[in-house]
A and B are shown apart, each in its own frame.
Chain A
Amino acid sequence: MTAPKTMPRLAIEDLSAISLRDGNRPILRRVSLDVGLGEVHGLVGESGAGKSTIAKAILGIIPSQVRIAGGKIGFEGRDLLTLSGSALRAVLGRDIALVPQDPTTALNPSRRIDAQMTDGLRLKRGLSAKEARLRAHSLLEEVQIRDPDRVLASYPHQLSGGMRQRVLIAAAFGLEPKLVIADEPTTALDVTVQKQILRLIRALQERHGTSVLFVSHDLGVVAKICDRVTVLYMGKVVEQGATAAVLAAPRHAYTKALLAANPRYDRPDTGLEPTPPEVITALRAEIAAFDAGSGEARDG
């Protein structure tokens, strides 16, 4: 368990966002979270909880119908939200990289793996074509791909989903970024491959000392890989803490409900409980009170 030591790698403070399309409905409600150096931080919540909005805000790809209403995303002493386009482009790919959700669509179908792995290394790490190729080769070995030469010469459609995700993980960590955003990296894979991919991310992260923000809807996956976890509901942080502590003794009723909704392979007779309606009612009341409170705070 590595608790954040000195200055965290990524420090999100009071991040708020609204949906312009949906009557200015809040989608992030003053979210604060830190990702420490070398830490894997889980960001959990059901769909629509605002997990991916946070990831997109960090990466500067907020869709046009969403507006950041307040807060900061601190990275290396700078606020990513205030960076110019070119300043952000300089940070992306060099200091921050993404492992995407769906490996079937995240690789360009008409470019060889070779080209797609080396272009970032050449632009962001200043490697020559030959150096980048050697680096890509050793990166593929690092993600346990047996015949890197064949994979490098392949087009994406010639590789399996698990292979593609390995390639994407190798490409992301290969840029030697300080922070990797892993956006549900195992959701599109089948269960047996999921485990290997999780182990791989953890191994690479430890070897390179990378900080990882691990976005997932699955507490079971988060339990396997994350040092700390933040649980979101309707854009609000409902629970935050060391993963083991949160899982062992969830303080919030919603986290308990999420845990209960997780299938347990060791106890197939339990689990898969839907969130009890009284928990939802209580949460919504809590959020309504928060909205009213922050409204007053803003006015005052």
Chain B
Amino acid sequence: MLLAVIANRAAMALVTLAGVAVVVFILLRVVPGDPVAMMISPGASAADIAALKAHYGLDAPLLVQFGIWTKGIVEGDFGTSITLHRHVTSVLADRLPATIELAVMALFVAVTLGGGIAIVGTLLRRTPGEAVIDGLNSVMLAVPDFIWALALVLLFAVALPVLPLTGQIDPALAEGFSTRFYLTESVLTGRFAVAGNILSHMIMPTLALALPLAAVIVRLLKQSLKEAMLQDYVLLARIKGFGELRLVLQEALRNAIGPTLALTGVQFTFLIGGTVIVERIFAYPGIGNLAIDAIINRDFPLIQGLVLLFGLIFILINIGIDLTVAALKPRLRHA
């Protein structure tokens, strides 16, 4: 059953990606601005412009251009970046690890923080402590990631200058890596001073991305937990003499977590979207930051590659969430 679900989702993913490819390809060529206009100096002759357009294949009919691009994709060639003069795949491979590390870190912080606060709030239900948590949470729900980013900059880089403002790693330390997963690699190879330096760079962008998601998790999980705590099986466990924390963790959490997991999946895709602006603010070298450069330069092949990559990430996240929810719900597994 599980395999059938995965196959089904994979097929749907291909259709979705094909749709995304068509839309981004057409959109880029319909909106004003093209890469040739961005790179050529003012006063260039019409002949020069035409020659350049021909060089990049931009003079061909739309359908032909699309055909060339998709044929390349099928062969594993996503084209060459116009501004960076490198294969799109190699540019993305260089930049993606930094974003993966940042997003996973942010997800981990959001789930830990949001889950922890939701559990504490459940333990404190019907006390003033719950009102405090609810009040703060309402404020956190209203603040978007880029506002957090600016607030964090003011706090930790201006008022209390304790954290590095930009980048992923101190350039002097960025040597001797065999992969681009700097944080993972430095931890695995035991270079903890380097890992600490990377983490200090990641704290602010991570928090900016994680706090809005944590707020959503607190709101939903706490509500689900409170409902689950009223169930008969929790009452029966209470009558076995189990303490509150055990009731929440052992009896309520697994039954309450479904909606939160599903929503976390959706919100995680927003978090990935948020990396575009947050990476820009902190000059963090991931694909989000790259996307802004690519768009400013109208680097068509790179933009197309990036959009497909974002689409693929979103689809993988959703499949992952579906599988997790199914794994946690025995009723679904046996249905």
CB pair B241–A107 under 8 Å, yes or no, is no
CB pair B255–A100 under 8 Å, yes or no, is no
CB pair B330–A108 under 8 Å, yes or no, is no
CB pair A158–B334 under 8 Å, yes or no, is yes
CB pair A124–B241 under 8 Å, yes or no, is yes
A97 to B237, CA, bound (A): 10
CB pair B241–A90 under 8 Å, yes or no, is yes
Interface centre among B236, B328, B334 (most CB of A within 10 A): B236
Which A residue's beta carbon lies closest to that of B331? A157
A226 to B271, CA, bound (A): 63
Contact of A106 (CB < 8 Å), options: B236, B254, B255: B236
A283 to B334, CA, bound (A): 53
Q: How far is the CB of A114 from the nearest CB of chain B, in Å?
A: 13
Interface centre among B126, B234, B235, B254 (most CB of A within 10 A): B235
Q: How far is the CB of A188 from the nearest CB of chain B, in Å?
A: 11
Q: Is A263 an interface residue when CB atoms closer than 8 A count as contact?
A: no
A124 to B234, CA, bound (A): 17
Q: Is B242 an interface residue when CB atoms closer than 8 A count as contact?
A: yes
Describe B's contact surface by its main secondary structure. helix
A175 to B237, CA, bound (A): 13
Q: Chain A residues with Cβ under 8 A from B71's Cβ?
A: none
Contact of A123 (CB < 8 Å), options: B241, B251, B329, B330: B241
Contact of A105 (CB < 8 Å), options: B126, B232, B243, B330: B232
Q: What 1/0 mask marks residues of chain A from 81 to 108 whose CB sits below 8 Å from any chain B CB? A: 0000000111111101110101001111
A91 to B239, CA, bound (A): 9
Q: Is B233 an interface residue when CB atoms closer than 8 A count as contact?
A: yes
CB pair B239–A93 under 8 Å, yes or no, is yes
Q: Chain B residues with Cβ under 8 A from A64's Cβ?
A: 126
Q: How far is the CB of A215 from the nearest CB of chain B, in Å?
A: 14
Interface size on A, residues (CB 8 A): 31
CB pair A111–B240 under 8 Å, yes or no, is no
Q: Chain B residues with Cβ under 8 A from A14's Cβ?
A: none
CB pair B331–A89 under 8 Å, yes or no, is no
Q: Is B231 an interface residue when CB atoms closer than 8 A count as contact?
A: yes
Interface centre among A108, A123, A157, A175 (most CB of B within 10 A): A108
Q: Chain A residues with Cβ under 8 A from B250's Cβ?
A: 111, 119
Q: Chain B residues with Cβ under 8 A from A88's Cβ?
A: 241
Q: Chain A residues with Cβ under 8 A from B255's Cβ?
A: 108-110
Q: Chain B residues with Cβ under 8 A from A90's Cβ?
A: 241
Q: Chain B residues with Cβ under 8 A from A158's Cβ?
A: 334
Which B residue's beta carbon lies closest to that of A96? B239
CB pair B330–A61 under 8 Å, yes or no, is no
A91 to B240, CA, bound (A): 9
Q: Is B29 an interface residue when CB atoms closer than 8 A count as contact?
A: no
CB pair B233–A105 under 8 Å, yes or no, is yes
Known: A108-B233, A108-B251, A110-B254. A123 touches B240 (CB 8 A): yes
A175 to B240, CA, bound (A): 9
Q: What 1/0 mask marks residues of chain A from 264 to 293 whose CB sits below 8 Å from any chain B CB? A: 000000000000000000000000000000
Q: Chain B residues with Cβ under 8 A from A111's Cβ?
A: 250-251, 254
Q: Chain B residues with Cβ under 8 A from A94's Cβ?
A: 241
CB pair A61–B238 under 8 Å, yes or no, is yes
CB pair B330–A110 under 8 Å, yes or no, is yes
A217 to B162, CA, bound (A): 70
Which A residue's beta carbon lies closest to that of B253? A110
Which B residue's beta carbon lies closest to that of A95? B241
CB pair A93–B241 under 8 Å, yes or no, is yes
Known: A100-B236, A110-B255. A157 touches B241 (CB 8 A): no
A248 to B92, CA, bound (A): 88
Known: A106-B232, A109-B255. A119 touches B331 (CB 8 A): no
Find residues 147-186 in chain A having any chain B CB closer than 8 Å to their own CB.
Answer: 155, 157-158, 168, 175
Q: How far is the CB of A167 from the nearest CB of chain B, in Å?
A: 11
Q: List 29 A-B contacts (CB under 8 A).
A: A89-B241, A91-B241, A92-B240, A93-B241, A93-B242, A94-B241, A97-B240, A102-B232, A105-B231, A105-B232, A106-B235, A106-B236, A107-B236, A108-B234, A108-B254, A109-B330, A110-B330, A111-B251, A111-B254, A119-B242, A119-B250, A120-B240, A124-B241, A155-B330, A155-B331, A157-B330, A157-B331, A157-B334, A175-B240
Binding site for B on A (CB under 8 A): 59, 61, 64, 88-94, 96-98, 100, 102, 105-111, 119-120, 123-124, 155, 157-158, 168, 175
Task: Give the 6 A-B residue pairs with the shortest CB-CB distance, closest first.
Answer: A93-B241, A93-B240, A92-B241, A105-B232, A108-B233, A89-B241
Binding site for A on B (CB under 8 A): 126, 231-243, 250-251, 254-255, 328-331, 334
A sample of 14 more A-B contacts (CB under 8 A), given A61-B239, A92-B241, A107-B236, is: A61-B235, A61-B238, A92-B239, A93-B239, A97-B239, A100-B232, A107-B233, A108-B233, A108-B234, A109-B255, A110-B254, A110-B330, A111-B254, A123-B242
